Structure 1
């Protein structure tokens, strides 16, 4: 059980959740999008949201700015979150512009808002759960897509609810966060996506 709970935090790591949202969008969108464009965007986003942050982490660890990938202290979080904001701005400028895929554009705007909020809280010495931020944001995006495209994804939403509970349990078990930090993290991830729905739904 101990190994299972620990593995949940790695399987549903915040780095992979944005690309999960993008893949879900392309799998459910009724619009015709050439497969070449889908592949190009998936590769570009995978590099920018997964590969690049991992490389930056190793660079920061070499420089002594971070100790572990879990970013256990608020001071360790500041530089990685700031760099992530810059990466998200590049994505919004070059990869998912509003004229191309408006749903994904606002999805990443929501991620940027959540990341900026988490950064400000880290500066204020509060450690919101980034794991909860990511799963809550993706959950709200899935919910909005189900309404937007008029599709029944109740099974997916139920699975996401279980995943959210599993991630919260894992973080508590690992003593990585307090219940308050998990709740704040969920709110930071969920609310920006909910508010931005007004601009594309």
Structure 2
């Protein structure tokens, strides 16, 4: 059971949530988008949101700014969150513009706001759950897309609800967070996506 719950935290790591949202969007969008553009954006986002943060983590570890990939203390989270905030800004300026793909643009604006909120809390020595922030933000984005495109994705939403429960259980079981930290994580992930719906839905 320990291995299963631990694997859940790795499988549904916060780093992969943005790219999952982008893949889901391109899979469900009724608009015609040239395949070469989709491929270019996916490759660019994969490099910026997954490969680059991993490389930056190893740099921070070499500089002894973080001790482990688990970022167990609020203080350890400050540098990674700051760098991730910068990465998302680059994505918004160079990869996803509101004139091209407005839904994904505001999805990443929501991620930016959530990251900033998590960073501020880390500076204040509160360790909000980044896992719950990421998965709850993605869930809200899926809900908004289902309404926006008038598509039935009840199966996906049900699966996402199970995933949210599994991630929360995993984080509690591994003593990575308290229930309060999980709830705050859900809040700062869900609310920005909900509020930003007004700009594109």
Do the structures match in fold with TM over 0.5? yes
1:45-91 CA deviation, whole Å, 9 max, x = no partner?
00000000000000000000001111111110001100101100000
Partner residue of 1:161? 161
C-alpha RMSD over aligned residues: 0.3
Partner residue of 1:172? 172
Partner residue of 1:189? 189
Partner residue of 2:142? 142
1:139-181 CA deviation, whole Å, 9 max, x = no partner?
0000000000000000000000000000000000000000000
Partner residue of 2:80? 80
Partner residue of 1:60? 60
1:116-135 equivalence runs, <5 A: 116-135=116-135
Number of positions where the alignment pairs a residue of Structure 1 with one of Structure 2: 201
4+ runs of 1 displaced by more than 6 Å? Answer: none
Q: Distance in 1 between matches of 2:170 and 2:7?
A: 8
Q: Distance in 1 between matches of 2:101 and 2:55?
A: 28
1:1-12 equivalence runs, <5 A: 1-12=1-12
Where does structure 1 lack aligned partners over 5 or more consecutive residues? none
SS at structure 2 position matched to 1:161: helix
1:85-119 CA deviation, whole Å, 9 max, x = no partner?
11000000000000000000000000000000000
1:4-23 CA deviation, whole Å, 9 max, x = no partner?
00000000000001000000
Q: Distance in 2 between matches of 1:31 and 1:68?
A: 42
**What TM-score comes out, normalization by structure 2 length?**
1.00
Q: Distance in 2 between matches of 1:70 and 1:163?
A: 20
